[in-house]
Amino acid sequence: MKDGQKTLYSAVQPTNNLTIGNYIGAIKNWVNLQNDYNCYFAIANMHAITVRQNPAELRNKTLSLLALYIACGVNPEKCVLYLQSHVPQHAELSWVLNTFTYVGEMERMTQYKDKCARNADNINMGLMDYPVLMAADILLYQSDVVPVGLDQRQHLEITRDIANRFNNIYSPTFTVPEGLYMKVGAKINDLLYPDKKMSKSAENPNGSVFMSDDRDTVIRKFKRAVTDSGSEIIYDPVNKPGVSNLLSVYSVFTGKTVEQAQSEFAGKGYGDFKTAVGEAVADKLAPLQAEQAKLLADKDYLNKVLVSGAERASKTALRTLNKVYKKIGFYQI
């Protein structure tokens, strides 16, 4: 790892197909962040099983996500890239942190309530408890910063609360992480319901653009995107949420500022604007999809990446866990 740089942690679940919102909010940022921080990037398959998964599909999606990470520019030589279940210290620290977390705190978590509503036939303890596992993920690597979307603030805050609670009882043990909030594209919304976040599991898939969508599908979805009253193409999230969402997408996928995008489409109609956004996204996705397919054909290489990542992650994770076990009084050999 790089001396003198802060440590950063982030993870994505290998469930469903990732959307361009996941790409913009997480993976694209990772490519830049890996040069500035000591980065731990995980495939969070332990979090994935709070909802029932098809075992074969979960394995396939895990490798597919790993290949996508690398295709997008996440470099296993520059960061620690690993599978969460390959590092058992995640589960071990999570159990300890459970004893420093209150039931009321978990019951108040917004995403717990949302997931219970969507999975009424499977309200398991994992749904309630996964913020504690997330805290273990972050604290295990003494993370200084965590890139978070606006909807993840609550999870970061409970992580900070748990860390401070433990530190106050046993003396400083965990680094208390700060949030790293991205300005543009931090939250990409549904194309059909621009007041809602674009989701991997949305009921209507036409509102989400997936990283696996072919060119025609991408452009078709953007052509059908909901816009707003009036005809001006300006960034105004309150009064023009649909247009503002599309401007954010266009800005990220072209590298232009929102102001430059506004100028480019001044005087043009919504039809031309939506087509241009779709084409910009499709142009970016095509080479990523091709590289992902190439990587998936080399399973030996992907396995080597996971073995190396697990070894490197485990060294740091074990160091933290041993410190925690000593603090709480576990007898160690």
211-235 tens-digit pLDDT: 999 999 999 999 999 988 888 999 9
pTM (two decimals): 0.88
Q: Inform me whether the pLDDT recorded for 150 exceeds 70.
A: no
**The two structure tokens encoding residue 126:** 């994992």
Lowest mean pLDDT among 155-164, 176-185, 272-281: 176-185
Q: Does 1 map to a domain?
A: no
- Integer-rounded Cα radius of gyration of the chain: 21
Interacting residues of 53 by C-beta distance below 8 A, sequence separation 6+: 15
Lowest mean pLDDT among 11-15, 156-160, 306-310: 11-15
Structure-derived torsion over alpha carbons of residues 51, 52, 58, 64, reported in degrees to the nearest 10 = -40
What are the residue ranges of helices labelled H in the chain? 20-22, 28-33, 45-48, 55-71, 89-98, 103-107, 110-118, 125-139, 153-170, 215-223, 241-254, 258-264, 270-296, 299-328
Q: Does 198 map to a domain?
A: no
User: Do 13 and 132 fall within a single domain?
Assistant: yes
User: Do 279 and 309 fall within a single domain?
Assistant: no
pLDDT at position 1: 58
**Residue 174 one-letter amino acid:** F
User: Do 262 and 319 fall within a single domain?
Assistant: no
Q: Does 48 map to a domain?
A: yes
Provide the domain count of the chain: 2
User: Do 63 and 143 fall within a single domain?
Assistant: yes
Q: What is the DSSP letter of 141?
A: T
Q: Does 192 map to a domain?
A: no
Q: Contact 154/135 with Cβ under 8 angstroms?
A: no
**58 versus 28: which is more confidently predicted?**
58
pLDDT at position 156: 92
Q: Does 191 map to a domain?
A: no
**Residue 97 one-letter amino acid:** L
Active site residues: 115, 197, 200
pLDDT at position 112: 67
Burial of 128 (0-12, 13-18, 19+ CB in 10 A): middle
CATH, residue 132: 3.40.50.620
Burial of 296 (0-12, 13-18, 19+ CB in 10 A): middle
User: Do 176 and 234 fall within a single domain?
Assistant: no
What are the residue ranges of helices labelled H in 206-329? 215-223, 241-254, 258-264, 270-296, 299-328
CATH, residue 231: 1.10.240.10
pLDDT at position 2: 64
User: Do 53 and 169 fall within a single domain?
Assistant: yes
Q: Does 200 map to a domain?
A: no
User: Do 172 and 108 fall within a single domain?
Assistant: yes
Which residue range forms the structural domain that includes residue 84?
Answer: 7-181+299-328
Q: Does 120 map to a domain?
A: yes
Mean pLDDT value of segment 197-221:
89
Q: Contact 323/91 with Cβ under 8 angstroms?
A: no
What is the dihedral sign for C-alpha 239, 245, 246, 247?
A: positive
User: Do 153 and 231 fall within a single domain?
Assistant: no
Rounded distance between C-alpha atoms, residue 10 and residue 180, angstroms: 11
User: Do 124 and 236 fall within a single domain?
Assistant: no
Output phi, psi for 138, to 5 deg.
-75, -45
User: Do 251 and 280 fall within a single domain?
Assistant: yes
Rounded distance between C-alpha atoms, residue 81 and residue 11, angstroms: 10
User: Do 177 and 53 fall within a single domain?
Assistant: yes
Q: Does 140 map to a domain?
A: yes
Q: Contact 140/107 with Cβ under 8 angstroms?
A: no
With vertex at residue 283, the alpha carbon angle to CA 282 and CA 289, rounded to the nearest 5 degrees, is 75
User: Do 229 and 165 fall within a single domain?
Assistant: no
